[in-house]
Amino acid sequence: MGICHCKNKGRNSRRRELDGASHNAAEDRRDTALEQDWWKSVSPKDVEMLILDSLKAIRSLVENDQEPPQELFKLHNIADQDDGWIQIVDSMVRVVPVEDPLGPAVITLLLDDCPLPNKNAVLRLSSKFNLSSKNRVSRGMDNRKPRNICIALGVLAEKLSGPSSVAILTSATLDFLIGNLEDEIDPVVTLFSLIALEKFAQTSENKVTIKRRLAEAGDPLLRLEARPPSSDLIESQVKFCATWALDNLFLVEGRKFSYETVDVLNINAMLNTKDVSEYLKISPDGLEARCDAYSFESVRCTFPATEGVWFYEVLLLTPGVMQIGWALKHSKFLNHEGYGIGDDEYSVAYDGCRELVWFAARSQEVGGGRWKAGDIVGTLLDIPAKVLHFYLNGVQVFSSDLLFTVSANKYFAGASFMSFQQCRFNFGSDPFRFPPDTEFKSFNDYASLSPQERIVLPRHLEMEALRNMSIREDSCAICFDSQAETTLIPCGHSGFCQTCTAQLFECPMCRAKIDRFTVDPT
């Protein structure tokens, strides 16, 4: 289950707050109980402590109905005033450690949870950051503050998309972010600068500006993409994100899309681009996935296991929250609510960051220690014996009959990702690092994909195809999938198909109760 910003219903997620308006008496009471100027007596040191305490508290947050930690309420109230908000963001970028796998999550959660600042406050904050191409962070220097600034800018760019996002993308901010894409810069800072640019580009005016500035800087993204393959996991993430940005956002004239040049002939099982939540990024070879959204993104493999014993491995490029495991077709991806693989009774998943195994949205602790970037997660599904195993670097951490309690005939590899997490799947196209000491099959040896199915199309091309799709005018007014052919009795309204009509109790036009319906002669 995704933490916090995509989790605790009705509190903090940007999209989760859409979950219907309810009259929240508890919240009203909380507000009136607080003195208006209460935040003024809080020192900068207190704010820093509150932020670090939130970081600790968030780690223990796993259940969906859990109340968010008290620290978050306090910070939320401080942020109600512009000065308080600026102080929180400023403290946050100074204190959140780079090495904490939940650090980026805390920054996004706090910013997401706080009231939307007005443009003036954001501009004051950005001048406080004092950004320019001069404060570059070379490799080996302290990268904490610039990395955190990039994460914060990314959240603000997304939250304020529109004119305010244009206003914060000042020339100095652009100099800072684009300057960070150069070779001598610390790769962590490069990575999060690139992600911040991506989020600014959600506002089309910014996108045009960024594209122009990238061209003026000699297309640094092309240089990032062309860096030699590296065993360094941060460098690999930089290359992945550069390629994704070039395919999806900052297209460069003359560059071929990576799906046109990638060699996928030996790959017979991939992450399924037709079975993935909206914001997950998938590599052109279909084996690597990354989430930079604030939701909990999920994907299933193209090939289902139906009988026998199956194994696959995953290389973790990042050490944060991911839920890696197995899912049936029924398992739902509710990315904005924080539900993914392991969060219903049709899927099971291992999350080595929080050291948990998830099934039916409930977790149980497992051993093996906390996973790290570079670790290999393996999982074996033994259908005849009705048992599955998870391994961390070849050591078994969990085995159980979960998932075999419901009858099913198709089991898919699947995974869910919190913000800024990335991993690479091996379904058998490469040798396994820690194969279990038992007979098993790999998807790649038994699956097949058509040439069309091997293409991981950039999303904008996919959307363009959708938009150009033509839809018949005599379609059902509810689904537009089938032809309209029913008339409702007694009101007489028509224009719906049989499938939709069957789901209705009252007429969509006049709300008259439907006694029955007739099917129009064709």
Binding site for other proteins (CB under 8 A): 14-15, 17-24, 28, 115-116, 118-119, 161-164, 202, 248, 273-279, 332-334, 336, 459-460, 462-463, 466-467, 469, 471, 475, 477-481, 500, 503-504, 506, 508-509, 511
Rounded to an integer, what distance in angstroms lies between the CA atom of residue 365 and that of residue 347?
17
Task: Give the distance between the most distant pair of CA atoms in the chain.
Answer: 77
Taking the complex as a whole, the smallest distance from the CB of residue 200 to other proteins amounts, in Å, to: 13
Taking the complex as a whole, the smallest distance from the CB of residue 501 to other proteins amounts, in Å, to: 11
Nearer to other proteins, 62 or 361 (CB): 361
Taking the complex as a whole, the smallest distance from the CB of residue 469 to other proteins amounts, in Å, to: 6
Nearer to other proteins, 339 or 350 (CB): 339
Taking the complex as a whole, the smallest distance from the CB of residue 481 to other proteins amounts, in Å, to: 5
Taking the complex as a whole, the smallest distance from the CB of residue 192 to other proteins amounts, in Å, to: 19
Beta strand 411-417 pairing with 297-305: antiparallel
Nearer to other proteins, 199 or 424 (CB): 199
Nearer to other proteins, 256 or 274 (CB): 274
Helices (H), 433-506: 443-446, 459-467, 498-502
Q: Angle at CA 80, nearest 5°, toward 42 and 124?
A: 85
Cis peptide before 220 (omega within 30 of 0): no
Nearer to other proteins, 298 or 429 (CB): 298
3-state secondary structure 94-121: HHCCCCCCCHHHHHHHHHHHCCCCCHHH
Cis peptide before 101 (omega within 30 of 0): no
Taking the complex as a whole, the smallest distance from the CB of residue 8 to other proteins amounts, in Å, to: 14
Nearer to other proteins, 98 or 334 (CB): 334
Count how many residues are written for the chain. Answer: 522
Taking the complex as a whole, the smallest distance from the CB of residue 15 to other proteins amounts, in Å, to: 6
Rounded to an integer, what distance in angstroms lies between the CA atom of residue 83 and that of residue 119?
13
Nearer to other proteins, 74 or 389 (CB): 74
CA 314 to chain centre: 18
Nearer to other proteins, 49 or 167 (CB): 167
Going by the DSSP 8-state scheme, the letter that residue 488 receives in this structure is E
Taking the complex as a whole, the smallest distance from the CB of residue 391 to other proteins amounts, in Å, to: 30
List all residues 6 or more positions away from 175 whose beta carbon is below 8 Å from its beta carbon. 131, 132, 133
Beta bridge partners of 238: none
Rounded to an integer, what distance in angstroms lies between the CA atom of residue 224 and that of residue 36?
49
Contact 429, 342 (CB under 8 A): no
For the four alpha carbons of 325, 331, 336 and 342, in that order, the dihedral sign comes to negative
- List the beta strands (DSSP E) in 360-493: 362-365, 376-382, 387-392, 395-400, 411-417, 421-426, 486-489
Nearer to other proteins, 20 or 218 (CB): 20
Rounded to an integer, what distance in angstroms lies between the CA atom of residue 123 and that of residue 264?
47
Taking the complex as a whole, the smallest distance from the CB of residue 386 to other proteins amounts, in Å, to: 29
Taking the complex as a whole, the smallest distance from the CB of residue 437 to other proteins amounts, in Å, to: 38
Going by the DSSP 8-state scheme, the letter that residue 350 receives in this structure is E
Nearer to other proteins, 19 or 445 (CB): 19
For the four alpha carbons of 459, 236, 56 and 73, in that order, the dihedral sign comes to negative
